[in-house]
């Protein structure tokens, strides 16, 4: 059965974990779909893992459109979310709508934007016009220069309060999912419990409603330095399909992430 925005809402209600992975092409989309991955994210991490760049900032709308189209072609059951690249949505709700609409026309079923409460107006604008939104808070890779590096977000009490406030504001604005990156597990848990909509975590502990990893990280393909929250599921697997199935099983059974992957 096709996974929809309603399936994900119901999974949260039923306490079933959501397994999400990034995906950049049709063959992997088909494989991930067969392995039971619920959501495929056409992440702008393709700037890092496909293009070999140092950040996601140079990724363009044209590139995101191309990868969204080819992923959507390979996905049958899984829901397809496309990242809105740097500078494609920050200017105004109208700019965001124009670019989100292009991604939806290319085959995305939801778009993902980075940013906290400052993006609430834009989220509302998109959702009111029929475009579901996954909002990415905590560490936001497109803001790496503003952070001055790869830093865990929400560590101090003040930062944690801002994160909680942002999550609630984004839910009120109509976001379908809140995704948290590199956030202390206790904070991600509190946010998850305070929201009716599902949360997805990456480096946010085991208590979010679902997990996401970059495909090339969890298959051990990416040559760069591994973040603490990454696990290579090819270790112990005999095939890529097996590794992805092991990931899905580990997410569904709350065996991943473990303490060692958590802040």
| Rounded-to-integer distance, Cα 155 and Cα 157, Å | 7
Is 88 a binder of ligand KIV (CB under 6 A)?
no
Q: Please identify, among the stretches 26-34, 40-48, 143-151, 190-198, the one whose residues bind ligand KIV according to the rule CB under 6 A.
A: 40-48
* Closest CA relative to residue 142, chosen from 92, 181, 189: 181
Q: Which one of the listed residues 69, 181, 193, 245 is annotated catalytic?
A: 181
H-run or E-run covering 40: strand 39-42
Beta strands 133-138; 110-114: pairing state: parallel
- Residue 207 binds which one of ligand KIV, Na ion, none, with CB within 5 to 8 A depending on kind? none
Is 214 a binder of ligand KIV (CB under 6 A)?
yes
In the structure encoding, which two tokens stand for residue 2, read together? Answer: 């096709």
| Rounded-to-integer distance, Cα 42 and Cα 46, Å | 8
Percent composition of the chain: helix, strand, coil (DSSP 3-state, to 5): 45, 15, 40
Size of interface with ligand KIV, in residues (CB under 6 A): 11
Residue number, 111 or 169, with CB nearest to ligand KIV: 111
Look-up of token digits 């976001």: 175
In the structure encoding, which two tokens stand for residue 101, read together? Answer: 């609409």
Is 202 a binder of ligand KIV (CB under 6 A)?
yes
Which one of 3, 22, 122, 135 is in contact with ligand KIV (CB under 6 A)?
22
Instruction: Decide if 39 contacts 78 (C-beta within 8 A).
Output: yes
Is 85 a binder of ligand KIV (CB under 6 A)?
no
Is 68 a binder of ligand KIV (CB under 6 A)?
no
Is residue 33 marked as binding? no
Footprint on this chain of Na ion (rule: CB under 5 A):
43-44, 83
Is residue 124 marked as binding? no
Is 178 a binder of ligand KIV (CB under 6 A)?
no
Q: Is 181 a catalytic residue?
A: yes
Residue number, 38 or 181, with CB nearest to ligand KIV: 181
In the structure encoding, which two tokens stand for residue 75, read together? Answer: 């996905």
List the end-to-end C-alpha distance of the chain, in Å, as a whole number: 35
Nearest-approach distance from CB 182 to ligand KIV, in angstroms: 9
- Residue 166 binds which one of Na ion, ligand KIV, none, with CB within 5 to 8 A depending on kind? none
Look-up of token digits 């995906």: 23
| Rounded-to-integer distance, Cα 157 and Cα 245, Å | 37
Catalytic residues: 181
Show binding-site residues for 3-methyl-2-oxobutanoate.
Answer: 44-45, 83, 112
Indicate the annotated binding residues for Mg(2+).
44, 83, 114
Residues engaged in binding ligand KIV (CB under 6 A):
22, 43-45, 83, 136, 179, 181, 202, 212, 214
């Amino acid at each position: 059965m096709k996974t929809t925005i309603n399936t994900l809402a119901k999974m949260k209600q039923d306490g079933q974990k959501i397994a999400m992975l990034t995906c950049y092409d049709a063959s992997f989309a088909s494989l991930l779909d067969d392995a039971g991955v619920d959501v495929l994210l056409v992440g702008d991490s393709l700037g890092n893992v496909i293009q070999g760049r140092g950040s996601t900032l140079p990724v363009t709308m044209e590139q995101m459109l191309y990868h969204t189209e080819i992923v959507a072609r390979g996905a049958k059951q899984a829901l397809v979310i496309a990242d809105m690249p740097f500078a494609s949505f920050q200017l105004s709700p109208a700019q965001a709508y124009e670019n989100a609409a292009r991604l939806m026309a290319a085959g995305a079923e939801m778009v993902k934007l980075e940013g906290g409460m400052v993006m609430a107006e834009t989220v509302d604008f998109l959702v009111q016009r029929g475009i579901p939104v996954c909002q990415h808070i905590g560490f936001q890779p497109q803001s790496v220069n503003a952070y001055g590096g790869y830093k865990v977000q929400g560590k101090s009490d003040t930062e944690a309060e801002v994160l909680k406030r942002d999550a609630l504001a984004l839910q009120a604005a109509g976001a379908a999912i809140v995704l948290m990156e590199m956030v202390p597990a206790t904070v991600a848990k509190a946010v998850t419990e305070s929201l009716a909509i599902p949360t997805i975590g990456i480096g946010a502990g085991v208590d979010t409603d679902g997990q996401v990893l970059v495909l090339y990280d969890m298959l051990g393909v990416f040559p760069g330095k591994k973040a603490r929250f990454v696990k290579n599921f090819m270790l112990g697997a005999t095939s890529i399909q097996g590794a992805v199935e092991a990931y899905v099983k580990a997410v569904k059974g709350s065996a991943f992430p473990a303490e060692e992957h958590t802040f």
